[in-house]
Amino acid sequence: MLTAVETVKLIKEKKLTALTALENCFKAIKERDGEIGAFLEVFENSARAQAAAVDAKAETGKPLGRLAGVPVAIKDNMAYAGHRMTCGSKILEGYVSPYTATAVQRLIDEDAVIIGRANMDEFAMGSSTENSAYKKTKNPADTACVPGGSSGGSAAAVAAGFCPIALGSDTGGSIRQPAAFCGVYGLKPTYGLVSRYGLTAFASSLDQIGPLTSTVEDAELALSVLAAHDPKDSTSVKKPALERPFNMKGLRVGLPKEYFSDMKGVSGEVAAALDTIKNKLRSAGAVTAEVSLPNSVYALAAYYIISSSEASSNLGRFDGIRYGSSVKGASLADVYRKTRARGFGPEVKRRIMLGVYSLSSGYYDAYYLKAQKIRTLLKRDFDAAFTKADVILTPVSPTTAFKLGEKIDDPVTMYLSDIFTIPCNLAGLAGISFPAGKSAAGMPVGAQLLAKPFNEGLLFNIIREVERAA
């Protein structure tokens, strides 16, 4: 599969047409997606029309956009006018969006071709894409394993060569963890850098849209299109991503002692891959230093209280009256009860109940307020760590991709898959997962770099230099 950068170059040089690039992706999807299950729907008609429009612009000599002819998949929680969006849930089965999300529109404005909607854990709640109401996506590296979640369909689509770029959303690691499991690049931009308008909200103070790609250059290209202020999103920032002089020599890489001194729960293969990345960083001229994130031990608990509390509020609109398919009942309360019982899956119900409980009278201070205090302390930990380091290196997940069905009946064990990614969202940082090798069984291993807000460019430069040195 051509990368996005290669595709744009060839189309602008008139050595490739957008329709040809698209048909190549369709061919790959038809050959293998029956086995992988990355897509819930492929937009054949509208995608071909978009590709033809790009080719018409090229023929008439009109300027082409930065993503000219690049096929892009979007996660099933992003609005696209005239197309279905279900958030992987039965409650939105058949829903057709009347408008387009800002992030998706920015892709279209730069001549990208929206190829289809990718499978996901229901309402982005999950770490394996087994919580989708429609199908279970499989890992292209081993179809007996999960692709990660909740953006598992997006990660699998890129890893399988179905498209060069896919959009995901990341609330607690839902871009970075599947990227690591599938062996691709996954960027969680700084909170507020990419508009959330048109993204179905899970936890509004944590959600962020970002790209999954097969190269770091494609991730950088995608972010250059996505990052912009949007007056439709009150959390969107006007501050652009920072550009700064870059030199690997003397670059300070922080290693949290809470993660590296005792790698308890981390598989030997993940630990070995992180050691390799540390050595590559040093070989490229960086220096490593121990930093401390003492409150990260509480991050998982704080995250599930905060995110579930926000989800219980955000998902209140899906009641069969305002949004969602409705089930008839004897009373309004009965309609609500039957609609949500049928429409929501067990993981969504679990988190709604946790959120409602955490926000209820008598428990708000004990749970929700305390979790917010932990969030503040964690942010202070990162502020202190970044006085000693330019970036922070961590694992993405304690293990490589696990088997389908292995953890689905054990929610706490499943939640631990995100233990290293959650702190980034709580603190609003920039974070990226990048390939760090493979296990003995051939499964991808990912490493994570975290940076201060709006330092995505620094992350791209570091990964580029490490890969060049290697």
Kindly give the pairing relationship between strand 165-169 and strand 391-395.
Answer: unpaired
Q: What is the pLDDT of residue 263?
A: 64
Judged against a pLDDT cut of 90, whether residue 262 lies above it is answered with no
Q: What is the pLDDT of residue 241?
A: 62
Query: What does the alpha-carbon distance between residue 5 and residue 399 come to, in Å, rounded to a whole number?
Result: 31
Q: What is the pLDDT of residue 423?
A: 98
Query: What does the alpha-carbon distance between residue 259 and residue 292 come to, in Å, rounded to a whole number?
Result: 9
Q: What is the pLDDT of residue 185?
A: 98
Cα–Cα nearest to 6, from 74, 72, 70: 70
To the nearest 10 degrees (0 to 180), the angle between helices 18-36 and 4-12 is: 150
For residue 299, what is the enclosing H or E element?
helix 299-314
Q: What is the pLDDT of residue 274?
A: 96
pLDDT single digits (tens) 426-460:
999 999 999 999 999 999 999 999 999 999 999 99
Residue-wise burial string across 172-190, b where 16 or more C-beta atoms lie within 10 A, e elsewhere: bbbbbbbbbbbbbbbbbbb
> The tokens of 214 are what?
């097969």
Q: What is the pLDDT of residue 245?
A: 76
The single residue of 127, 151, 174, 397 carrying the catalytic annotation is 174
Angle at 70 between CA 64 and CA 74, to 5 degrees: 125
Q: What is the pLDDT of residue 188?
A: 98
For residue 444, what is the enclosing H or E element?
strand 444-451
- Lowest-confidence pick of 261-270, 331-340, 427-436, 438-447: 261-270
- Was domain 4-226 assigned CATH 1.20.1560.10? no
pLDDT single digits (tens) 33-71:
999 999 999 999 999 999 999 999 999 999 999 999 999
Q: What is the pLDDT of residue 243?
A: 66
- Ramachandran assignment for 27, one of left (phi > 0), alpha (psi -120 to 50 degrees), beta (any other): alpha
Q: What is the pLDDT of residue 239?
A: 72
113-118, strands of its sheet edge to edge:
39-42, 113-118, 71-75, 165-169, 209-213, 185-188, 430-438, 444-451, 391-395, 252-256, 287-291
Based on the residue annotation, tell me whether 174 is a catalytic residue of this protein. Answer: yes
Report, as an integer, the average pLDDT of 158-173: 98
Judged against a pLDDT cut of 90, whether residue 394 lies above it is answered with yes
Which percentage of the chain shows pLDDT scores above 90?
Answer: 94
To the nearest 10 degrees (0 to 180), the angle between helices 216-226 and 4-12 is: 70
Judged against a pLDDT cut of 80, whether residue 261 lies above it is answered with no
Q: What is the pLDDT of residue 238?
A: 87
How is residue 318 annotated by DSSP? B
* DSSP notation for 41-104: EE-HHHHHHHHHHHHHHHHTTPPPPTTTT-EEEEETTB--TTSB--TT-GGGTT-B-SS--HHH
Query: What does the alpha-carbon distance between residue 220 and residue 378 come to, in Å, rounded to a whole number?
Result: 28
Q: What is the pLDDT of residue 343?
A: 96
> The tokens of 18 are what?
């957008």
Query: What does the alpha-carbon distance between residue 326 and residue 347 come to, in Å, rounded to a whole number?
Result: 20
The single residue of 132, 150, 151, 312 carrying the catalytic annotation is 150
Judged against a pLDDT cut of 70, whether residue 240 lies above it is answered with no
Q: Contact 110/95 with Cβ under 8 angstroms?
A: no
Residue 412 contacts by C-beta under 8 Å, 6 or more apart in sequence?
none
Q: What is the pLDDT of residue 265?
A: 81
Based on the residue annotation, tell me whether 296 is a catalytic residue of this protein. Answer: no
pLDDT single digits (tens) 61-106:
999 999 999 999 999 999 999 999 999 999 999 999 999 999 999 9
Based on the residue annotation, tell me whether 89 is a catalytic residue of this protein. Answer: no
pLDDT single digits (tens) 187-226:
999 999 999 999 999 999 999 999 999 999 999 999 999 9
Confidence label for 242 from pLDDT (cuts 50, 70 and 90) = low
- Lowest-confidence pick of 15-24, 200-209, 327-336, 399-408: 327-336
Which percentage of the chain shows pLDDT scores above 70?
Answer: 98
Q: What is the pLDDT of residue 256?
A: 96
Q: Contact 401/141 with Cβ under 8 angstroms?
A: yes
Confidence label for 260 from pLDDT (cuts 50, 70 and 90) = confident
The single residue of 75, 138, 407, 452 carrying the catalytic annotation is 75
- Ramachandran assignment for 431, one of left (phi > 0), alpha (psi -120 to 50 degrees), beta (any other): beta
Q: Where are the alpha helices (DSSP H) in 146-287?
A: 152-159, 176-182, 216-226, 257-260, 268-283
Residue ranges of the chain that CATH labels 3.90.1300.10: 4-226
